[in-house]
Structure 1
Amino acid sequence: MEGAAGVTAVVVCSDGARWLPRLLRALRAQDRRPDAVVAVDAGSTDATLELLAAARQEGLVTHVVELGRRTGFGAAVAEGVRAAPASGWYWLLHDDCAPAPDALGRLLGTGEADPGVALVGPRLVGGPDGRRLLELGTSTTLGGRRSTGVEPGEVDQGQHEGVRDVLALSTAALLVRASAWERLGGLEPLLPLFRDDLDLGWRARRAGWRALCDARTSAWHAEAARHGLRPHPSPGGAPLVAERRAALLALLLDCGALALPQVLVRAVVGAVGRALGLLLAAAPGSAARELLAVAAVLVRPDRVVRGRWRRRRTARVPSRELRPLLARRTGVVRLVRDAAAAAVAPAERGEERGLAAEVRGTGLLVAVLAVVALWPLRDLLGGALAGGPVGRVPGSLGALRGLLVDGWHPVGLGWAGVSAAAEPLVPLCLAALAAGGSPVLGAGLLVALGVPLAGLTASLALRGVLERRAVRLWAAGAYALLPAATGATAGGRSLSALVVVALPVLLRLAGAAAQPGRRRSWHAAWGAALLLGVLAAAAPQLWTALAPAGVLLALLALAQRTRAGAAAALRVALVLVLPLALELPLLRAALDEPRAALAVADGGTGRSAPWELLLLHPGGPGMAPVLLAAPLVLGALAALLVEGRRAAAVRTAWLLALSGWAAALTAAGAHSAGRGPWTGPALAVAGAGVLLAAATGAEAAVVRLRARAFGWRHPATALVAALALPVPLVVALLWVGALPVAGTSRSPLRAAEPSLPAYVLADLATPDRPRVLVLAGTGTRLRWAVERGGGSPLGGDPSREPAAARRAAAAAVQAVASGQGGGAARGLAALGVRYVVLRAPVDEALRRTLDGVPGLTRSGRQEPDGVWEVASGRTGGLSARLRVTDARGADLAAVPARPVGAVARLAAGGAGRLLVLAEPAGPGWHAALDGRPLAAASDPVARWAQAFALPASGGRLVLRHSAPAVRPEQELRLAGAALLLLLALPLPWPRRRSAS
């Protein structure tokens, strides 16, 4: 072997004194020693330089190059090569590796045997005794998962002897042909530590060279950088972030052009999956680092473009020919496994403590709650839900958008402008986006999964607040089964369910914002204000329930008379004020009618007595017996006896509970006979305070009673615990019907069915755009609504319908219900009503009355609902949205229309004709015939309706509503300022240095 090509070993050191002696011994023991050994030190502060000086004095090391502390591995190797004498091969060595005595001889022999070989490396082993296999070459999936060719923990028993082609090899003990090194330009400078070996092998393969793993020899490797064993940070940052970033960057630099989109998608999905796993394990720091690692690459696409352009000079082999060398794709199961592994893997800064147990406990809790919540709805799954507010969700995201921003709302009789009732649709839009753009699916998922999601958010929010895992899981389960949560699910209240789910996160953020001197408290204030702004749109009652507690906390912070206290008070004020500025229509409605501040968008009416509200019972379906909450309140009362550091937490929890109770009692007392708005959101706040106080008291009692001799406190505490601990279990058994009293027996939810007969729905979609008058109840207590085929959607605002149109509709309904003559049918036709539907259970007296009304004829089946059609002709008019009439109001023809405007061709006719639109008149309507504007007129029959005077000539008609839903300028300015302030809160503002 003495006549073989020269070899220069390049040893890179970085605070490696604990491993370097083993490497130096391995170099002395080589059967074929390197011709030169160049040691490159990257700013070591331990005894590394002393060891290298001794080896140089001995003659083992020929050159020593000293570089800066943050120098990457590739840059260090490049400096070592420059200082090395001319050689045919470079042997790259880490300071934490130790090749076997025959390593260089075997690797050199393998490389010299084939001129097409550029890279040769041994099998890598690890462990104290070197018996654990680490690598047999490296590869990667398109998802960035590194493949080493061995199973995790596999023992080296000589089972992989031989030489094999691989995509790449580790740079620990890697032999590189000097000509290939020069042509490839060395290691990639964008990869200072991790995945530089993969990139080098990939480029060599694309250039036409081979990379071989000679498993007949080995090298021991400590993998110090990957395991974070270096005493100072690596040049790529924290190992977790650096390796994730390097994996994605190497793929983007080297993969084929057709694989780039797949790599990007898999990288983002994988990062989100791992981040969710870490969030489930309550390790937000590691979750953020996972996302930051991907973001650090995606925000600099210019580096990828330049790097791929450089590779074009050496690429000779198509990317598709390297596919067999890539690791197998990562399927969905592997992605889930990786996310779970990330959740329980050791994280930085001690976050790994108890994560595995936390994941198991939280996962079991959520699974049990999911079974409990879905069991009563098992017959309804697989389709849309009906009954309750969830059945009135608009069917598309476009319909939601229209209710929010359009100038004219084709709902009921129709109305123009912006309504406070549309504000609750903002959180529903977010739920629809999360459900793939379907509001119906988003609302249904909130209803069906509200209970388990509430348990999940409560468990995550309580981590760090409650120390004992068992107490934390009990509190989370009890919160998820509060009457407010079960009532939201059983009653079909999707927006209320969203409030209950998000409330624990909101309280955790608000609590962090209220603490003086807490790190990232301004970020917490930003999150709390943004979340409260979204939730207050769905339930203004939530803001009312949190405001008293927030004001008192701000005053207490100000009472400290410190700069930190004043800052905390300011943050609390921002949390309370900014949502009001973002929801100005709700604020204006509350100023006009104070009861609006106590409303819930989908809550309906509550009927609970004050003492029931004090026991957290808002009323409605899905409620456990009222007295079942008494042990929870008793436990919270007992917690007031707590002393020491937990006493402040108990008092804060009680402040929250009292604030929620005050809002609930005020809402119930604001209406007569206790029939106020549903108080679920306010009682969710009160219940969260009660449970937090009870759980904090339980933790304190365990510690305090263990330190005391047996006394009366022990049996008293045991009695309270015996009463309170089974409450969640009893509620769950009641919910699924395992106990005699079924908690959801009165739920209005049912499988969604067509709200109207199919032939009626088909007729409503014709160009005539007719409508339906829906009647319910009896003749003495008759309820009515004008529908356009989609039911009465959530977000509709009957109060915005013009009074004249409401009076005309009420008169027509009264005429029909009283059995009057042909004028009743004509009044319905003027409203555009073609069908009258009497909802089941049908009042027989009212059915007989409708049968006797001239101009109404029975239509289709009469079960379960009764259906009548409004006849056109002598007793009635044309039931169409847009009609042409003569000067006396007699109908001449129906005109095809759109949901809001119309574009149609009109025939010529006599003078004095009118174009009548069955919509309330307003300044936003404009019509033109062949480009000539039409003057507004008054219809002699429906004086409330929009009408235009028509000339005798015909032409192309264009009808539109041009008044957009624009808020007042002052509102826009204030909301814009609030939004800018809200966006500025999380920015990294410079901190003021203390005088010291």
Structure 2
Amino acid sequence: MAEKQSTQAQVKDQHVTAILVTHNGVTWLSEVVAALSSQKRLPDQIIAVDNGSIDGSVKLLSNAGIPVIKQSKSAGFGSAVAAAVAKLPIVDKQINNQENNEWLWIIHDDCAPDKLALAKLLEAVAERPQVGIAGPKILGWYDRKHILEAGISITENGTRWSGLEDREHDQGQHDEVKNVLAVSSAGMLIKRGVFEELGGFDPSLELFRDDVDLGWRANIAGHSVICVGEAILYHAQASSSERRAIDVKDAILHRPLLLDRRNAAFVLLANSSWWILPWVALQLLFTSIGRSFIYLLAKLPGYAADEIAAIGLLIFKPADLIKSRRYRKKNKVLSARVIKQFIPTRSTQLQASLERISTSISRAFKSKNAQQNPTQVKSYSDIGIIDESFDELEFVEGKSFAKIRALAKQPFLFGLLVISIFSIFYSRNRFGSLSGGALPVAPDSAMHLISNFFTSWHLVGLGSSSPTPLWVLIVGLASVITGGNPQIFINLFFFFIPLLLYVLTYRSARRFNLSNYSATFAGFIFAVSPAILTSINQGRIGTLVVAALFPILFTALYNHQQLTDLKWRKLYLVTIVAAIAAAFSPIFLLVWLGYQIYQLINQYIAAQNINSTKWEDISKILNQDEIKKRFALLITPFLINIPNSFSLLANPSAKLLEPGLSVPSGDLLSVLLFNPGGPASPNLYLLAPFVLYLFLCLVVKQQRRDTSLALILLALSVTISSFYIAGNNSNAQRVWTGTLIVIAQFILTLNIFSLAERIIPQLRTINFGFKHILSAVTALVTIFSTVAMTGWGLSIGANSLVTTDNEQVIPAFISDLATTNERPKTLVVRKNQEQLKYFITRGSDLLLGAPDVSSKTPEIIHTSIVDLFNGVGVSSSQILGFYGIQYIFMKDPADPALVRTIDGIGGFTRSSATKDGVIWKVNNAHARVSFQNMKGQHFPVNSNDISANGYVSSSGTIIIAEKFDKSWRLLLNGVAVPLEKNEFGLPVFKIAQPGEVLITHDGTVRRGWIS
């Protein structure tokens, strides 16, 4: 009892100044003033600071007898509090304990404290003299059982963290007093001495996150921060919820999210230890990119821009951040580790995110009437004044609908759920670093792909100067999303592609004026079609990218077929999307060019004065806006993909290969049935419905135009697939035409559902006939195909060529040798029942993009290898040795007859025979770069991957064990030496005198094409 009386006496001894900050908050201000006046323990004085209100706030405060300090509307919250503190009398430190007994109670104009709030706060701090800041438990203004905050923290990526469940209701579970990182500035009770010691709120944080920053600095300075659960405050959160405009100076474009995200990043960067700053900065960058991507999918481009712009503001204005970090050093008493206990762990964040997602999904499937919505209180002057029974919320019980009916009203969400479950089970063998089929192994660094795009010489096989296609650079840049790791990016791409195709097709179908239900079915049918699942199973990344981008192109151009109302900015966005698709698929580029040329000719013919031969008339026609836009659509994707687009036009038949390794595809019947075929593809009896769609849409006049395009694409697909092309480091295979099939089936899917929506209402009003029969057959075929393909994908279809458990072909010791100065090459041999295969490696398996720049093996090397296997290659070791091939590796199971053949031919010494295979060393093989003196002796020259340098002691010949290319350069003592070709087709340089040599590959041509 005596202890309680002592606490109450201490509470009475405290001097509290309530600082009320207002800015156009008259909507809530009358209740706030009433709440302050009704406190059981009244504040000793109230000072109001108004930041340029124009809504009557100042008049209301004056009528209530509260003195008002006026500031401009651009002033920040912290400056308002500082202005009020500046008006207080100076603390006399000579008076005993006055400094520790003076408190500042900070109140927003949209928060109303409960009548016991101040008393509970003072009781808590009276019992804890080490406390510098205390805050109440904050409940919602409009739902006064909803807990908004009970102390706050910040995550490593800048998210404001409350540690509460989604829409958690107050049941007394947070009524204790607990230490926290920070409390909200709404209702914050802070010692005046602590406030002045810390310098108040950081002026760089004019609004949002200033409270987190102040709490962080208080903890580091040795002051405790507590949340008092029994002290309650109701907060409307008017600024963050965009119920009113924010006018502070730093609020660019008056966007709350932009300011919040900028300040969140500022708090982390200003307060974190210097040694973890790079990690914090990377997390903030990647999180912002990820959030912006999600906002774009949610059709919120403004929020997406806010995320990126927030980071940009800090990058381009680092002065405030540097100044703040210097200031924080002055008051730092404790190590930054003291706040670690308040930062939520990643497992805690993940658990909370999963709970929030599951809650959101379950809430989405509930009818609005089934949700329990609290009735809004009629007035808020009841807080502490009107009878407490008025605070009891009444809930309206809604009638609960059956789950099936709820799902029927949310077809898109139901489809999203189904396709997500399908993706999880379908991808069960593809969690990890993917490779197999057409997909080579992805490197573990995006810089490998980016540097490969710019380099002029590629270390694949015996070397190649072929230009790297643009898609390699795109994948490298896109891997920034996954922290610069292409392996993770490729894995996520293959996992999410069915989901992405479903969403994009649904969106296009809705723009195609299809109903919600039809768009859902169309998206699902397209996402699980044979062409899509075959592309995933075979690693056809090019086809999958086109499948994802074509709905975007179709939607953009279908609604603007005449291009007159298509703005230039949007048009160039369309051309960029088309250029990206063309980078991944040369066949798409050919089709795109052909279609745009056809449309351009049609528009020219349709123009007036077409028969005129006058240049003025022709110029007038060509100067029409529509023709200029069509020409931009034609030429821009072509120009972006130079020089590969020139190669495609110069030799189309040799450049029609998709990215990656060549994989056998199906025959003509498979292509006709919209199934590209090949290994790991669905059986033909799992009939795709698109042939039936094609027939029905051709019959109907309204669908005939679009369907004719699909028919042309199918015919082109059948024609092209009859060709066999060798390339991409592989034997000749049928040309893969899955890209054309995917485009054709997308067009047919939208048109058949458009036809169905028009026909079905007619079937109810006409007598039974062939329309009913065809409709029933189409529905049955569609259902059978969709169910069958889904079942196939969930069962045997998951056993694809693309997996995570593909073993490494090259033994580890050969990979290690490849990093030595000699840079040896290895001939890898694999034999199956059908044929013998070989490839030349530099110590690693083929990486992403390498097959696309590989060139044909020189005939002299191919002949030597064939002779070796046939047992007649007497000179094989010499030729292989000159090309720097120092080892032959035969992968298990090795053919015993072939092993005996190689053993019996001179020039090869068996090195080892392990469980991996058999290895031979090529006798007298040369290094990648070697020097041959006049006596015929060979000496290795110190070599990097491409360049080499060293000292030659006499005249002789420098031999480069790479394919001949005119861009090889050698400088002898700084003077260029002419390039020659020897009898083996290797690049050589004649050295006339001793000196320093420098060998490089001249990338001027490559840089010219890029620029």
The residue that corresponds to 2:317 in the other structure is: 300
Structure 1 residues 603, 500: CA separation in 2 closer, same or farther (over 3 Å shift)?
farther
CA–CA distance in 1 between the matches of 2:447 and 2:197? 58
Q: What displacement does 1:727 show?
A: 2.0
Q: 1:22 aligns with which of 20, 25, 31?
A: 31
Structure 1 residues 436, 3: CA separation in 2 closer, same or farther (over 3 Å shift)?
closer
1:2-17 counterparts in 2 under 5 A?
Answer: 9-17=18-26
Moved more, 289-298 or 365-374: 289-298
The residue that corresponds to 1:474 in the other structure is: 521
CA–CA distance in 2 between the matches of 1:776 and 1:131? 70
CA–CA distance in 2 between the matches of 1:396 and 1:171? 44
Q: What displacement does 1:365 show?
A: 0.9
Q: What displacement does 1:499 show?
A: 4.1
SS in 2 for 1:622: coil
1:368-383 counterparts in 2 under 5 A?
Answer: 368-374=422-428
1:509-528 counterparts in 2 under 5 A?
Answer: 524-528=570-574
SS in 1 for 2:749: helix
User: Does structure 2 conserve the Cα–Cα contact (< 8 Å) formed by 1:132 and 1:154?
Assistant: yes
Q: 1:544 aligns with which of 565, 590, 604?
A: 590
Give the counterpart letter for 1:616 in structure 2. F
Q: What displacement does 1:542 show?
A: 1.4
How many residue pairs are counted as aligned between the two chains? 923
Structure 1 residues 583, 254: CA separation in 2 closer, same or farther (over 3 Å shift)?
closer
The residue that corresponds to 1:616 in the other structure is: 674
Matched, 1:960 2:1007: no
User: Does structure 2 conserve the Cα–Cα contact (< 8 Å) formed by 1:512 and 1:524?
Assistant: no
Give the counterpart letter for 2:339 in structure 1. R
Q: 1:94 aligns with which of 89, 108, 114?
A: 108
Give the counterpart letter for 1:366 in structure 2. S
Give the counterpart letter for 2:521 in structure 1. W
User: Does structure 2 conserve the Cα–Cα contact (< 8 Å) formed by 1:91 and 1:173?
Assistant: yes
Q: 1:63 aligns with which of 45, 59, 67?
A: 67
User: Does structure 1 conserve the Cα–Cα contact (< 8 Å) formed by 2:290 and 2:481?
Assistant: no
User: Does structure 1 conserve the Cα–Cα contact (< 8 Å) formed by 2:18 and 2:107?
Assistant: yes
Structure 1 residues 934, 420: CA separation in 2 closer, same or farther (over 3 Å shift)?
closer
User: Does structure 2 conserve the Cα–Cα contact (< 8 Å) formed by 1:36 and 1:61?
Assistant: no
Q: What displacement does 1:318 show?
A: 3.1
The residue that corresponds to 1:683 in the other structure is: 741
Q: What displacement does 1:734 show?
A: 3.3
CA–CA distance in 2 between the matches of 1:730 and 1:14? 62
**Over residues 53-84 of structure 1, what are the superposed CA-to-partner deviations in whole Å (9 max), with x where a residue is unaligned?**
6xx2xxx3243556555554444455566778
Moved more, 577-586 or 116-125: 116-125
1:819-834 counterparts in 2 under 5 A?
Answer: 822=874
Gaps of 5+ in 2: 1-8, 92-101, 362-366, 369-406, 609-619, 727-731
SS in 1 for 2:535: helix
Q: What displacement does 1:541 show?
A: 0.7
CA–CA distance in 2 between the matches of 1:118 and 1:297? 30
The residue that corresponds to 1:484 in the other structure is: 531
1:115-194 counterparts in 2 under 5 A?
Answer: 122-126=136-140, 130=144, 133-146=147-160, 168-175=182-189, 186-194=200-208
Give the counterpart letter for 2:538 in structure 1. G
The residue that corresponds to 1:984 in the other structure is: none
CA–CA distance in 2 between the matches of 1:771 and 1:567? 57
User: Does structure 2 conserve the Cα–Cα contact (< 8 Å) formed by 1:883 and 1:895?
Assistant: yes
**Over residues 874-904 of structure 1, what are the superposed CA-to-partner deviations in whole Å (9 max), with x where a residue is unaligned?**
xxx76666677798xx965564664656556
Moved more, 855-864 or 595-604: 855-864
CA–CA distance in 2 between the matches of 1:119 and 1:920? 73
The residue that corresponds to 1:329 in the other structure is: 344
Moved more, 160-169 or 480-489: 160-169
User: Does structure 1 conserve the Cα–Cα contact (< 8 Å) formed by 2:506 and 2:523?
Assistant: yes
The residue that corresponds to 2:389 in the other structure is: none
Give the counterpart letter for 1:484 in structure 2. A
**Over residues 523-552 of structure 1, what are the superposed CA-to-partner deviations in whole Å (9 max), with x where a residue is unaligned?**
554444344434423321111233344456
User: Does structure 2 conserve the Cα–Cα contact (< 8 Å) formed by 1:143 and 1:329?
Assistant: no
1:724-739 counterparts in 2 under 5 A?
Answer: 724-735=782-793
User: Does structure 1 conserve the Cα–Cα contact (< 8 Å) formed by 2:653 and 2:725?
Assistant: no
Q: 2:420 aligns with which of 350, 354, 366?
A: 366
1:385-534 counterparts in 2 under 5 A?
Answer: 385-386=435-436, 388-391=437-440, 404-409=453-458, 411-414=460-463, 418-420=465-467, 425-427=472-474, 429=476, 454-455=501-502, 458=505, 470-505=517-552, 507=554, 524-534=570-580
User: Does structure 2 conserve the Cα–Cα contact (< 8 Å) formed by 1:372 and 1:732?
Assistant: no
Give the counterpart letter for 1:247 in structure 2. A
Give the counterpart letter for 1:661 in structure 2. L
| Identity rate, percent | 26
Q: What displacement does 1:426 show?
A: 3.8
Structure 1 residues 797, 681: CA separation in 2 closer, same or farther (over 3 Å shift)?
closer
Q: TM-score, normalised by structure 1?
A: 0.73
The residue that corresponds to 1:592 in the other structure is: 650
User: Does structure 1 conserve the Cα–Cα contact (< 8 Å) formed by 2:104 and 2:192?
Assistant: yes
The residue that corresponds to 1:983 in the other structure is: none
Give the counterpart letter for 1:667 in structure 2. I
**Over residues 817-850 of structure 1, what are the superposed CA-to-partner deviations in whole Å (9 max), with x where a residue is unaligned?**
7765855665555555666788999999999987
RMSD of equivalent CA atoms: 5.7
**Over residues 384-411 of structure 1, what are the superposed CA-to-partner deviations in whole Å (9 max), with x where a residue is unaligned?**
645x443587898787678655555554
Q: What displacement does 1:677 show?
A: 1.9
The residue that corresponds to 2:985 in the other structure is: 944
Structure 1 residues 128, 445: CA separation in 2 closer, same or farther (over 3 Å shift)?
closer
Q: What displacement does 1:684 show?
A: 1.9
Structure 1 residues 409, 162: CA separation in 2 closer, same or farther (over 3 Å shift)?
closer
Q: TM-score, normalised by structure 2?
A: 0.73
SS in 2 for 1:618: coil
Gaps of 5+ in 1: 347-351, 977-996
CA–CA distance in 2 between the matches of 1:278 and 1:470? 24
Q: What displacement does 1:497 show?
A: 4.2
Q: What displacement does 1:681 show?
A: 1.7
1:814-893 counterparts in 2 under 5 A?
Answer: 822=874, 892-893=937-938
CA–CA distance in 2 between the matches of 1:428 and 1:126? 45
The residue that corresponds to 1:990 in the other structure is: none
CA–CA distance in 2 between the matches of 1:721 and 1:84? 80
Matched, 1:247 2:246: no
**Over residues 463-504 of structure 1, what are the superposed CA-to-partner deviations in whole Å (9 max), with x where a residue is unaligned?**
766765554443333333333333333434444444445544
CA–CA distance in 2 between the matches of 1:708 and 1:658? 32
CA–CA distance in 1 between the matches of 2:832 and 2:130? 93
**Over residues 639-691 of structure 1, what are the superposed CA-to-partner deviations in whole Å (9 max), with x where a residue is unaligned?**
68999xxx7xx688647635643652453466799975211222222222222
Give the counterpart letter for 1:481 in structure 2. V
SS in 1 for 2:243: coil
The residue that corresponds to 1:720 in the other structure is: 778
User: Does structure 2 conserve the Cα–Cα contact (< 8 Å) formed by 1:117 and 1:212?
Assistant: yes
